[in-house]
Structure 1
Amino acid sequence: MLNFFRIQSGSVKDDVLSGLTVALALVPEAIAFAFVAGVSPLIGLYSAFFIGLVTALFGGRPGMISGATGAMAVVIVSLVALHGVEYLFPTVILCGIFQILIGLARLGKLIRMVPHPVMLGFVNGLAIVIGLAQLGSFKTLSPEGNLVYLSGAPLMLMLLLVLITMGIIWLLPKATQAVPASLAAILTVTLLSLAINSSVTTPGGENALATVGDMLRTNTKAAELGLNDSHHKSDAEVPVESKEVVAASQVAATKITEKTDSKSTADAGGISGGLPNLFFLQYDLVPMTWETLKIIFPFAIILCGVGLIESLMTLTLIDEITETRGKGNRECIGQGAANIVCGMFGGMGGCAMIGQSLINVNSGGRGRLSGVTAAVCLLLFVLFLAPLIEQIPMAALVGVMFMVVIGTFEWASLKMFQRMPRSDVFVMLLVAGYTVLMHDLASAVILGVIVSALVFAWQHATHIAADVKYNEFGCKIYQLHGPLFFASVSSFKDMFDVNNDTDDVVIDFYFTRVYDQSGLEAINWLAVKYQGCGKRLHLTHLSPECRKLLDQAGDLVEINVSEDPQYHVATDRLA
């Protein structure tokens, strides 16, 4: 799967160069997500720095890139609009605390419950969303102040540079792997863009080819005009904005530069700034009262869940690409620590970034140094290199992301339709479709897991059966096959002929297990039926877990339980 990204094992040089490549792609992402959240662009950039650095050092997946994401931003925007940016930072800190607690409780192993069809749907839907998100980069502000698609010569020129970028990424690895193909493509196309923009003049004085700086100015003007557009959100974490979120974003956008230190505020035309400060040195402190906790608690819970689902799914994807195994519980703790640090320094929080992680892997980044390099380079861009970074053409970044789309989509899944069970095909299409329509990866994964669980329960509800035989004492023996749980209870009850059975009846559980309270209740119901007819019911070959359920049931099941063999259950050592 995703063989496009499987290249040689990483080295220090590969990690440094791939980190630089990722940093260049992180700049427009962080800016765009900051506008989604309704905060200063520098808050998005600083957030990407802190999240990326801390998770690279302490997270559970070397080579995975984290930063400010749209999934978190779309939750934050309502909080900022309703209560002010001062409430954002304690919310992010509380989110980080929850994530650390989840990691310490070793709940990161729950990602193993995601079925393969859900993963296929997630990957394919993700690829489509990333591709569709790039279409917005072909928009610009018209003289009337509306966002419109490019046309004519500007469109042809941008398409040409996008194709050149993709061609370099495709062909360069066949000649040499000394430099990451994505980095070489960005640098080459940037030089071409500088030459074109310096020689071609437009009637309005704008650049012939849109750059990162143009994107920032367009977003700023769009926010001032109250326009809703996600045309620079080039990662899949950006959900479709509901009317409520759009309204909240427009309100929050009016507060983008309020109460922000002059050293850390970007003007409308740049991304330069100073070193980040602790949030309580820049903003009014929120009183930590019960009322404050009631405001931030639900937002922190949502941020925690969304962030961990995105991060653990990305971890699983990178595991499959690199054929290594990350540590889910450690990643939870690393994400939590990153959000605590991010919140302390006035950041908007974040989680793993799928698109940037795939760029990093494709560029040869395999170690923690790649993530550290990306974070440090991002900070250096803000401190010293902002004018240069603003000259990077959006066409180069779009071309890189298009190659990510090609490498991300699981093309082999198109050939699996005839071989996969129809239920698995349905789950895969459902997850992919929900991802594309709603752009909400976390909800898509949860929906896929729920549907898969329901399909599993429905199928196994019909798998319970019994072989009937008699022993030398004339006792009738029902040897069960299949699981006894809530969905199979009805079939279980229909198997027994209470009125015509012998005085002693044995139920042999050697090939089955009791899984839940519904199964216990079914056994109790059956015991009452046999006792009402003056007959005795015996249970044999119960596993220790089944006996424990019977013991916990107290007087619910008063049946003679025979001696049974020992069964062994898998442990959590792999979690």
Structure 2
Amino acid sequence: MNSPSKYRREWFSNIRGDVLSGIVVALALIPEAIGFSVIAGVDPKVGLYASFAIACVSAVVGGRPGMISAATAATAVVMVTLVKEHGLQYLFAATLLMGLIQIVAGLLKLGRVMRFVSRSVITGFVNALAILIFMAQLPELVGVSIETYFMIAGGLAIIYLLPRLTTAVPSPLVAIAVLTCIAWFTGMDLRTVGDLGELPEALPVFSFPDVPLTLETLRIILPYSLTLAAVGLLESLLTAQIVDDMTDTPSNKSQECVGQGAGNIASALIGGMGGCAMIGQSVINVSSGGRGRLSTFVAGAFLLVLIVGLDDLVRIIPMAALVAVMIMVSIGTFSWRSLVDLKRHPLPSSAVMLATVVTVVATHDLANGVIVGVLLSGIFFAGKVSRLLRVTRQHDTASNSVTYLVEGQVFFASAQQFVHAFDVTEQGPKIAIDLNRAHLWDITAVGALDKIVMKYRKAGIQVEVLGFNEASADMIDRFAVHSKDDRSTASASIH
């Protein structure tokens, strides 16, 4: 957990920037929260209340300052069947259990699994998300009036040109304000936030999910809760890593698991759906100057103020203004350098990045893309390490003995290569297998060594295995078949 002084710095070291960026994020959250509610098949207020609760609670408890968490599409798609078959109250119960699972994951330090996600997977994740963000704007770009295109172009001009004059106010916030004023004064026939659905007119009320507290209820919600927890944590930890890189600051990934869980519990208790970190909104926050926990809290709190207290103003915001902001996010999120690096980077790295992008765009599921990327990274890495194995045959004519010097890593991917390196048909009074420069990693490696030794013994050839390191010796002692009869000999060869 952060020290008190560091925690205070994360709240109050950038008050002006955090407040202004939080306001920008709050405005951009409204259409997305409503849209994700539609995806999940619930009332818009479910997504809006969730975004308020998750943002505010994760700001206090989470491990990544400046990251925005709210209702998301990735979790919304998981909820569709549950809502359709069992109703809204079961969704709240599943979200509550989702949060508990995430807190347990944080306490178990599962945030450390981010070590297994390669840079290529993260780049693919970012690029795919940028594409999905842009694709999500297409309904607002197709079949609309010419005024809409002019408004979007004007919004982008303000966003990109205003920073050259001043950075006192975030340019996306100015773009939203200017385009709203233009639309209101001119009376343009534009699609607005109010066209997306009814905004809630009252503050959320605390209530426990109205479901029977039985094993049958647990049987229904547990599969959904586990999936929601996994998807939510995966996206949150990846987003935290990306914000780490953007701000050049570290974060506590395991504490972020706890923060996400606490946010989802709070959401469920006020009638909200489950959510997680949002890379698009996090990029908006960082790009607008948000760095601390205050920016995340302001985003959630101001969202509630907007939808309850300023709903009449929010309803007239033209979608063109928010589309311009999201296009900026899409352009800023995409790693354009990765296109140049496709030729410069090793082929396996480029393949992992492209596979992640293609999978995400094809399935519209970020978790699927990351899983594919991680699996491919593991396969390519195993293949690369397996090729580093070398077995050298040394024949001593004086004693008519043969020594096989093994160098490298012996595991499931290199076991076959290891076996084929030995000539089990050769004759001689003695064969020595020297493992001084090798390491046996798993039972597949031990089984390969067993196979070689037993074939030599079957042919009547004496075999000595020597040079185990301590870890390999332990594997041999526990799992090898060939060492059962000569355990003392194997132990004596450890040095």
TM-score by length of 2: 0.92
1:210 aligns with 2:191: yes
The residue that corresponds to 2:341 in the other structure is 416
Aligned length: 479
Q: 1:186 to 1:538 in 2, by over 3 A?
A: farther
For the residues of structure 2 that align with 1:159 and 1:506, how far apart are their CA atoms?
77
- Aligned CA distance change for structure 1 residues 272 and 546 (closer, same or farther; 3 Å): same
Judged with a 3 Å threshold, the aligned counterparts in structure 2 of structure 1 residues 132 and 531 are, in CA distance, closer, same or farther, namely: same
Q: Report the counterpart of residue 475 of structure 2 in structure 1.
A: 549
Whether 1:443 and 2:368 are equivalent positions in the alignment is yes
Higher helix share: 2
Pick one of 177, 192, 195 that aligns with 2:185.
Answer: 195
Deviation track 1:168-209 (CA, whole Å, cap 9, x = no partner) reads 111122222111111111111111121122xx5xxxxxxx11
Picking from 524, 529, 541, the partner of 2:450 is 524
Amino acid at match of 1:543: N
Among 34, 52, 77, the residue aligned to 1:31: 34
In structure 2, relative to structure 1, the CA distance for the partners of 1:511 and 1:194 (3 Å cut) is farther
Provide the C-alpha distance between the structure 2 equivalents of 1:193 and 1:552, rounded to a whole number of angstroms.
76
User: Secondary structure at the residue paired with 2:295?
Assistant: helix
Matched, 1:480 2:480: no
Residue 365 of structure 1: SS of its match in structure 2? coil
Distance across 2 between alignment mates of 1:548 and 1:334: 41
User: 1:64: which partner in 2?
Assistant: 67
User: Please, which runs of 5 or more residues in structure 1 have no aligned partner?
Assistant: 1-8, 140-148, 201-207, 217-269, 566-575
Matching residue within 15, 20, 38 for 1:17? 20
Residue in structure 1 matched with residue 392 of structure 2 by the alignment? 467
Q: Which amino acid aligns with 2:458?
A: G
Task: Tell me the alpha carbon deviations over residues 233-271 of structure 1, each in whole angstroms, 9 at most, x when there is no partner.
Answer: xxxxxxxxxxxxxxxxxxxxxxxxxxxxxxxxxxxxx41
Q: Does structure 2 conserve the Cα–Cα contact (< 8 Å) formed by 1:50 and 1:338?
A: yes
Whichever residue aligns with residue 456 of structure 2, its letter is Y
- How far off its partner does 1:10 sit? 7.1
CA distance in 2, matches of 1:391, 1:510: 74
Q: 2:244 maps to what in 1?
A: 319
Task: Label 1:184 to 1:542 Cα distance change in 2 as closer, same or farther (>3 A).
Answer: farther
Which residue is equivalent to 1:124? 127
Q: Would you say the 8 A contact 2:99–2:265 is kept in 1?
A: yes
In the alignment, the residues of structure 2 paired with residue 17 and residue 129 of structure 1 have an alpha-carbon distance, to the nearest angstrom, of 26
Residues 523-546 of structure 1: CA distance to partner in whole angstroms, max 9, x if unpaired?
111221232234443344433332
Conserved in 2, the CA contact under 8 Å of 1:26 and 1:378?
yes
SS of equivalent residue, structure 1 residue 325: coil
Q: Is the 8 A contact 1:538 1:562 kept in 2?
A: no
1:186 and 2:176 aligned: yes
CA separation in 2, counterparts of 1:290 and 1:273?
36
1:160 counterpart = 2:134: no
Q: Which runs of 4+ in 1 moved over 6 A?
A: 471-474
- The 2-side partners of 1:419 and 1:10 are apart by 40
Give the match for residue 436 of structure 2.
510
How big is the shift at 1:424?
2.1
SS of the residue corresponding to residue 63 of structure 1 reads coil
Deviation at 1:211, TM superposition (A): 1.1
Deviation at 1:516, TM superposition (A): 1.4
Partner of 2:417: 491
The superposition leaves residues 108-154 of structure 1 with CA deviations (integer Å, 9 ceiling, x where unpaired) of 11122112222222221211111111111236xxxxxxxxx22xxx2
RMSD: 2.1
Q: Look up the SS of the partner of 2:434 in the other structure.
A: strand
**Cα distance between partner residues in 2 of 1:473 and 1:378:** 84
- Alpha carbons 2:473, 2:494 under 8 Å: kept: no
Aligned to 1:345: 270
- Cα shift at 1:554: 6.5
3-state SS of paired residue (2:167): coil
- In 2 relative to 1, CA 550–399 (structure 1 residues): closer, same or farther, beyond 3 Å? same
Supply the distance in 2 between the matched residues of 1:173 and 1:508 (Cα, whole angstroms): 66
From the superposition, tell whether residues 360 and 478 of structure 1 become closer, same or farther in structure 2 (CA, over 3 Å). same
> Which whole-Å deviations, capped at 9, do the CAs of 1:260-289 have from their partners, x for residues lacking one?
xxxxxxxxxx41422212233xx6x21111
Q: Is the 8 A contact 2:454 2:482 kept in 1?
A: no
Match of 2:201 among 263, 266, 273: 273
CA distance in 1, matches of 2:20, 2:48: 20
CA contact (8 A) 1:541 1:562 kept: no
Any unmatched runs of 5+ in structure 2?
Answer: 1-11
- Which deviations, in whole Å up to 9, do the C-alpha atoms of 1:378-419 show, x marking residues without a partner? 111122111111111111111111111111111111111222
Aligned identity (percent) is 42
Deviation per CA, 1:63-86: give whole Å up to 9, x if none: 110000111111111101101111
Q: Is the 1:279–1:344 contact (alpha carbons within 8 Å) kept by the matching residues of 2?
A: yes
Asked if 2 retains the 8 angstrom alpha-carbon contact of 1:539 and 1:562, the reply is no
Task: For residue 294 of structure 1, report the CA deviation from its aligned partner.
Answer: 0.9
Aligned equivalent of 1:251: none
- Aligned residue for 1:74? 77
Please give the alpha-carbon distance, in whole angstroms, between the structure 1 residues aligned to 2:216 and 2:133. Answer: 39
**Do 2:453 and 2:482's aligned partners in 1 also have CA atoms closer than 8 Å?**
no
Structure-2 change in CA distance of 1:511 and 1:167 (3 Å): farther
1:41 aligns with 2:51: no
Which residue of 109, 131, 134 maps to 2:137?
134
The CA distance in 2 between the partners of 1:306 and 1:539, in whole Å, is 47
**Is the contact between residue 15 and residue 365 of structure 1 (CA under 8 Å) also seen in structure 2?**
yes
Alpha-carbon spacing, 1:273–1:562, altered in 2? closer, same or farther (3 Å): farther
2:284 to 347, 359, 362: 359
Counterparts of 2:122 and 2:437, CA distance in 1:
31
* Match runs of 1:388-407 below 5 Å: 388-407=313-332
